[in-house]
Amino acid sequence: MAAKRPNPKKDKSARRRRGPKPGAFSLGVLDPSNAGLAQFSAGDTPPEAVMPVFLAMTWAGSQSGQRANRCVDACRTLGYALGEIGVVTELRATEVIVHDRRTGAMTRCAPEMPTWRDVEPLPELNGHCILTLPEQGRWIDATIEQFPGVRGGPAVGRCGGIVDPRTGAVMAGDALGPRLPQGAHVAIGRGHLMLLYTLSPDEASARITGHHMIRHTAEEHRRTGLNLLSVVLARAGESAHLAALLRTTPHPRLHALLDALAGTSLRRAANGDALFDLGDGHAVRLDEFDLPADTPSPVTPA
């Protein structure tokens, strides 16, 4: 009698694993003792892009071992970190299509209109969002590696053209203006894959930022953004090269913070916050330093 063949449907190891949904939201306080700072080389990075790139890399390093589908967390955290140094940002919902240039296949990885699932322990977003920097004409996707086959770390792109998602053709985009309009296309290549983003209507972005969980956790995300920025600035205090690089950036508030942090050291509070030890028995958060009266104010992310 022939041996009975195993049923692959009952063999858990043979089942195809389902990938995580893009955009899952989970809240956490960045622990400066586990930041996992990535090696950073400015290369040809323009001065105004240095902090977006460095913060995105540091955030991604801090998430090592965590789920990659945390785009809302990433956008809110990076938005508050950049806002603390005066950089204007806006969370934008986006459709994502991955084009495999080897096979010609095009896979829709995130829909144009996101939806929320109110599940425990925290809501889940079926969709994707990126962080745009309107005054720089740039955008950040810190969770780009959640999409199948995509590697290479966070994406910091420049909105320099319009891409036809059907053909991949790139056209001049000088007339786009400082804020990308809904329906605008941006793209980035990773190996044989091309990721094509189409910015969703503003209503779609409002579905994300207007969700009760996002509104109720704004202060927690601000704290996480402060912690992220604190880790980066503390690293600058240990590296003359990095400190000099940050001085080249066009952010007066960043320069004032670097001056205020001179001679301090970073430590971790019991709740995970990053504190700067002043050397006199007192330790304060980054937003508690007294800066010169003419220092520009922080900017709240949109």
Q: Please list the pLDDT of the chain residue by residue as tens digits (302 residues).
A: 444 444 434 444 333 333 333 333 334 445 554 444 444 556 678 899 999 999 998 888 777 666 656 899 999 999 999 999 999 999 999 999 999 999 999 999 999 999 998 887 778 899 999 999 999 889 999 999 888 888 888 889 887 655 554 555 565 554 455 778 888 888 889 999 999 999 999 999 999 999 998 999 899 899 999 999 998 999 888 888 889 999 999 999 999 999 999 999 998 888 888 899 998 888 999 999 999 999 999 999 99
Both structure tokens of 283 = 């330790």
| Distance in angstroms (rounded) separating the CA atoms of residues 180 and 159 | 8
User: At 50, which helix (H) or strand (E)?
Assistant: helix 50-62
Residue 99, C-beta contacts closer than 8 angstroms, at least 6 positions apart:
105, 106, 165, 168, 193, 194, 195, 196
| Distance in angstroms (rounded) separating the CA atoms of residues 150 and 187 | 13
DSSP category for residue 60: H
pLDDT at residue number 165: 47
- Would the CA dihedral through 198, 203, 204, 209 be positive or negative? positive
| Distance in angstroms (rounded) separating the CA atoms of residues 296 and 288 | 15
DSSP category for residue 300: -
pTM (predicted TM-score): 0.83
pLDDT at residue number 99: 93
Omega within 30 of 0 (cis) for the link into 32:
no
Q: From 135, 141, 57, select the one nearest 95 (Cα to Cα).
A: 141
Q: Which residues pair with 97 in a beta bridge?
A: 108, 196
